[in-house]
Amino acid sequence: MNISNANLPEKAEIKKAVNDYCKERGLSKSSFAFKCGISDATITALMKDRWETLSKEMCLRIWNFMNCDKFNDLYQNTDFVSTIKACDMARKYRFMVGVTADTGMGKTTALRTYARQKNVFYVSYDKTMNASQFFVSLLRELALPFTSTLNDMMTFAVDKLNRLETPLLIIDEAGKLTHAMILYLQVLRDRTCGNCGIVLAGMPYFKANLQKNAAREKEGYAEFLRRINVWHSFVGLQPKEVEEVCSLHGITDKDKIRELRHQKRFGDLMNEIYLYQINEGMI
């Protein structure tokens, strides 16, 4: 596999980034290695500047792991700021908060940015996961090298979350949660509600499906829905925000800005801006 040196920062920058990452999140180097999926020997070699033992692929893997949740020139629009406040509320008052937003509105960006703090844990659910795989992912995020029965993994996660100071668990793509996962998360919530906040984020159908299944008296849904203390919904970009984003990306054409100013989804706006920059030879 050929990896260009242009993709890799200076060695000292990688080492500094690892130290900063661990300090920011209150992690030991061993916990960092586990979360990153590398060996203790690898992180030791990096810390002791034994670069000759580390391949370019390994260095790039470590660098990309640390930077997957960093967003350069992040524009903090109304939805971003309100999502940060919702996470603060969940954390301070140990609430379970539901966040809904259409695709491309910046939900995941805001949540991953918030998750860069100490004792904030982010797990994204996907349809390929079963319950055991979800809890393996959660334990990895908690830096707990433990795999066992579902009950034991739940117990380990609960114990860790109940021993931390103001922890917050963020579960993204919650609209894809299966019926079984809803039941398991209710158990997790009940066993951590005295110490841990939870944010469940998904598409608007996440809330709608919970309400529909609760109305049908499907097992566990009414109980789970009741445990969500607050719902927060994205409103989308405002025209003034679109104008500011265009300006930040060098677009001054008034006709183009007028064409874009009613875009509601950040992802759609950035696609349009990127295409405009290509067509105008700006990049």
Residue 211 and residue 104 in one domain: yes
Amino acid 73: pLDDT: 61
Task: Return the CATH number at 85.
Answer: 3.40.50.300
Confidence of residue 4 (pLDDT cuts 50, 70, 90): very low
DSSP state of 188: H
pLDDT band at 36 (very low <50, low <70, confident <90, very high): confident
Alpha-carbon distances, residue 103 vs 29, 106, 234, 272 (angstroms): 35, 8, 11, 16
Same domain, 255 and 126: no
**Residue 184 in domain:** yes
Residue 99 sits in the same domain as residue 182: yes
User: Does some domain include residue 3?
Assistant: no
Q: Give the end-to-end CA distance of the chain in Å, rounded to a whole number.
A: 28
Write out pLDDT tens, residues 122-141.
999 999 999 999 999 999 99
Q: Are residues 23 and 143 in the same domain?
A: no
Would you give the DSSP letter of residue 198? E
Domain count, the chain: 3
> Does residue 6 belong to any structural domain of this protein?
no
Q: How far is CA 228 from CA 45, 103, 171, 193, in A?
A: 45, 22, 13, 11
Boundary (domain end) residue, out of 68, 92, 112: 68
**Domain membership of residue 269 as a residue range:** 239-280
102 and 196, same domain (yes or no) = yes
- DSSP letter, residue 121: E
For residue 4, being part of any structural domain is answered with no
Q: In this structure, are 159 and 244 located in the same domain?
A: no
- Whether residues 90 and 188 share a domain: the answer is yes
Banded pLDDT at 2 (limits 50, 70, 90): very low
Q: Kind and range of the H or E element at 171?
A: strand 168-172
Give the tens place of pLDDT for each residue, 198-249. 999 999 999 999 999 999 999 999 999 999 999 999 999 999 999 999 999 9
Is 5 contained in some domain? no
CATH of the domain at 43: 1.10.260
> Is 0.75 surpassed by the pTM of this model?
yes
Q: Is residue 73 part of a domain?
A: no
Q: Are 138 and 153 in a shared domain?
A: yes
